[in-house]
Amino acid sequence: QLQLQESGPGLVKPSETLSLTCTVSGASISSTSHYWGWIRQPPGKALEWIGNIFYSGSTLSNPSFHGRLTMSVDPSKNQFSLELTSVTAADTAVYYCARRPHYFDYWGQGILVTVSS
Amino acid sequence: AIQLTQSPSSLSASIGDRVSITCRPSQGIAGGLAWYQLKPGKPPKVLIYDASTLASGVPSRFSGSGFGTEFTLTISSLQPEDFATYYCQQYNIYPLTFGPGTTVDIK
């Protein structure tokens, strides 16, 4: 059974970098049929796509995050990661990782990241 | 970016009711649309993909229809576990976008 699990700090200070990792179990991240994605949901707001990464390292991201977002993949650990720099309170959200054939079919449980001093 | 408009933004319904939610993209997206159910404290669950394909394990009371610029999610007979927020998402054109959500609560 495919499972995804987000990990990382739950509290980040303003202007610092938010770093999250998604560990995949039950399937290989090196699948040629899937992207691996990040989505977030700020409190009381809608879901927002952040970006996708392929096992090769190629990425596609939401222009809203351009200049602040870095995604990476480590096939040897079956993990992919997200770094978001210069965070503000507006980046407070539940962050999800998910698998994407085209739509998102498997999701992690989500991790709440609060940006606060 | 393609904007998705959902209507209604919320609705109140009773057990057994037939419920329909509409999603309208700002431009045509062919059939590249999915519907998700979101409950507090749980990750989104895909219900429908490719506009009308029922995801694995999803009850048959859920159905999807539409193409291009208008899509509908229908619940044929609302059950207690269906009270949740529903989101549409288009994956035909980058950036991927989600609708603002429709909350279904108990009447």
Instruction: Report chain A (117 residues): mean pLDDT per 10 consecutive residues.
Output: 96 98 96 94 96 95 94 96 98 98 96 97
Tell me the CB-side half-sphere exposure of residue B37, using CA atoms within 13 A.
Answer: 19
Q: Tell me how far apart the alpha carbons of residues A3 and A20 are, in angstroms, rounded to a whole number.
A: 16
- Mean of the per-residue pLDDT values for chain B? 97
Per-residue model confidence (pLDDT) at position A102: 92
Per-residue model confidence (pLDDT) at position A19: 98
Number of Cβ pairs closer than 8 Å across A and B?
Answer: 56
**3-state secondary structure at position A89:** helix
Shortest CA gap A2–chain B (Å): 14
Mean pLDDT score, B17-39 = 97
Q: pLDDT exceeding 90 applies to what percent of chain B?
A: 98
Per-residue model confidence (pLDDT) at position A66: 80
Do residue A107 and residue B50 have CB atoms under 8 angstroms apart? no
- Greatest Cα pair distance in chain A: 41
Which residues of A fall within a CB distance of 8 Å from B100? 46
Which residues of B fall within a CB distance of 8 Å from A46? 87, 98-101
Q: pLDDT exceeding 70 applies to what percent of chain B?
A: 100
Which residues of B fall within a CB distance of 8 Å from A108? 43
Q: Residues 6 or more apart from B64 whose CB is under 8 A from it?
A: B33, B35, B47, B48, B51, B52, B53, B54, B71, B72, B73, B74
Q: Look up residue B96 and give its DSSP letter.
A: P
Cα B1 off chain centre by: 19
Q: Shortest CA distance to A26 belongs to which of A95, A110, A99?
A: A99
